[in-house]
Structure 1
Amino acid sequence: MKKSYLVILLVIMLSVVYLQTSIHTLAENNYLLPDNKEKQFISASEFKKSGKLTGYIQFKDADINFEQKLLYKDLKQYIKSKVSEYYFINLINIYSNPNSSVSPDRQIYFYCSISDDDNTLKYKYLILDAETSKPIAEGNGQNFKQESETLFN
């Protein structure tokens, strides 16, 4: 009788451990847009030239324009490596709230245009999935400068 209770208890414990491991694994890999880092896609510039890029136009008076294919997890670091701290702080809306349905190892196209004059910093951006060409995120922003702000570090 004691042995049967121990066997039942052991089976229940192993079942719970197995289920938790399965659920955790499923949660980690259950992205709407899964990892595709091993696939080959054209560059962001070639994608733009193909005419498939719709709904995004760079500022005519832009000071900085980005067109880059990269992994979703590398977006923040890419932006930080390309702009001064002043721009990086002002572009926080682009990288501060990642989309949880996109695998960090998903390839994206990143387009961003920045216009900066004496009074205003304006930007707009578009993040597209490289495989489906569908938008992951897009937006724009405008920051009015105070007299003490400088453009570059």
Structure 2
Amino acid sequence: MNRRLYLTLLLGLFFSLVCLYSNNHINAENTYLYPDNKEKNFISATEFLRTGNLRGYSQFKGADINLIQKLAYKDLKKFIRSKVNDNYYLNLNNIYINTNDNVSPNRQVYFYCSIIDNETTFMHKFIILDAETTEPLFEGNGQKFKELD
């Protein structure tokens, strides 16, 4: 009899822990400030740029590269990697290294980045906007002076 009671209590504890873990895991997935919106349709990043509603960002005049794309937040690093050479990719690490835990990986974002690369300087500026709210999620810039021969 004691063995049966012990097994019943053990099974009850086990199922309680499984349910508790499952609920916490489900709740953790749904706590994004910017949740998954991959099923929604938004205009392209180029169309959004043309609306004139892009606040606080403008492309460099005479930029060597302008990256403009609507994409899932999780694909940002892969997109940058596919569009620039190794040197640029390493110099743009402030864009993709620091991820935001408030943004679902499947959240659609607009990404704009402008790059100037000349004999003395590498400069870039960027902004990442939420495609649904058009609020800025990240923005920044960087400048690296090159060694002169």
TM-score of the superposed pair, with normalisation by structure 1: 0.90
1:1-153 matches, cutoff 5 A: 2=2, 3-147=4-148
| Alignment RMSD | 1.4
Which segment drifts farther, 117-126 or 57-66? 57-66
Any idea what the Cα deviations from partners look like across 1:58-116, whole Å, max 9, x if unmatched? Answer: 11121111111011111111111111111001000001111111111110000000011
SS class of match (1:140): strand
Identity rate of aligned residues, in percent? 57
Distance 1:70 1:45 in 2: 12
SS class of match (1:21): helix
TM-score of the superposed pair, with normalisation by structure 2: 0.92
Distance 1:46 1:7 in 2: 63
Any idea what the Cα deviations from partners look like across 1:8-56, whole Å, max 9, x if unmatched? Answer: 3322221111101211222133211111111100011111111211110
* Structure 1 stretches of 4+ moved >4 Å: none
Distance 1:89 1:6 in 2: 57
Distance 2:13 2:80 in 1: 50
How many residue pairs are counted as aligned between the two chains? 148
SS class of match (1:87): helix
* 1:146, distance to aligned residue in structure 2 (A): 2.3
Distance 1:17 1:38 in 2: 31
Distance 1:40 1:54 in 2: 21
